C-alpha cells in the first residue's frame, strides 16, 4: 500500500464528483465539507459513471438507473449484497492522496 496524490482539495466542489485515473483504476472523489471519500467510478450494475452522479448527503445516485451508493462504505442501498470499492483518503493541506 502506498499513498498516491490524485487531486487538490481546492479543486473539488461540494456535491459534485471528480473522476481521477490511477494506474488501471478509475476513481470517483466526493467532497463533503472537509471530508473526501473515494469509491470506484464504475457502477456494478452495468458500468455507469458514479462520479457523474448527484450527491445527496452521503449517497451518490448512479446517473444511468439511479442505484444509490453510500460514499462512506460503498454499499448499494437497493441491493445490500452489492458494493463498490472504497479507498482510504489522506488530506494534507490542499493535497488529496489515496491509499491504493
Ligand atoms: S449502471 Fe448504475 S444503476 Fe445501472
Set of cell numbers at residue 89: 483518503
Mean pLDDT across the stretch 15-32? 96
Which residues, in sequence order, are CB contacts of 68 under 8 Å at separation 6+?
Answer: 59, 60, 61, 62, 76, 77, 78
- Whichever domain contains 74, its CATH number is 2.102.10.10
pTM: 0.95
The total domain count for the chain is 1
> Residue 2's pLDDT is what?
84
Nearest Cα residue to 35 out of 9, 69, 70: 9
CA of 8 to the centre of ligand 1 (A): 28
Query: Is residue 1 scored above 80 in pLDDT?
Result: no
Strand order in the sheet with 59-61: 54-56, 59-61, 68-70
Domain that holds residue 46: 3-99
30-89 confidence digits (pLDDT tens): 999 989 999 999 999 999 999 999 999 999 999 999 999 999 999 999 999 999 999 999
Q: Whose CA is nearest to atom 3 of ligand 1?
A: 65
Amino acid at each position: 500500500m502506498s499513498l498516491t496524490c490524485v487531486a487538490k482539495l481546492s479543486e473539488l466542489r461540494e456535491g459534485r464528483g471528480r473522476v481521477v485515473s490511477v494506474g488501471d483504476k478509475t476513481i470517483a472523489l466526493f467532497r463533503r465539507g472537509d471530508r473526501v471519500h473515494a469509491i470506484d467510478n464504475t457502477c456494478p450494475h452495468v458500468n455507469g459513471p458514479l462520479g457523474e452522479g448527484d450527491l445527496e448527503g452521503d449517497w451518490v445516485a448512479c446517473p444511468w438507473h439511479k442505484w444509490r451508493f453510500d460514499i462512506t462504505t460503498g454499499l448499494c442501498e437497493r441491493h445490500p449484497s452489492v458494493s463498490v470499492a472504497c479507498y482510504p483518503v489522506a488530506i494534507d493541506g490542499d493535497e488529496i492522496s489515496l491509499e491504493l
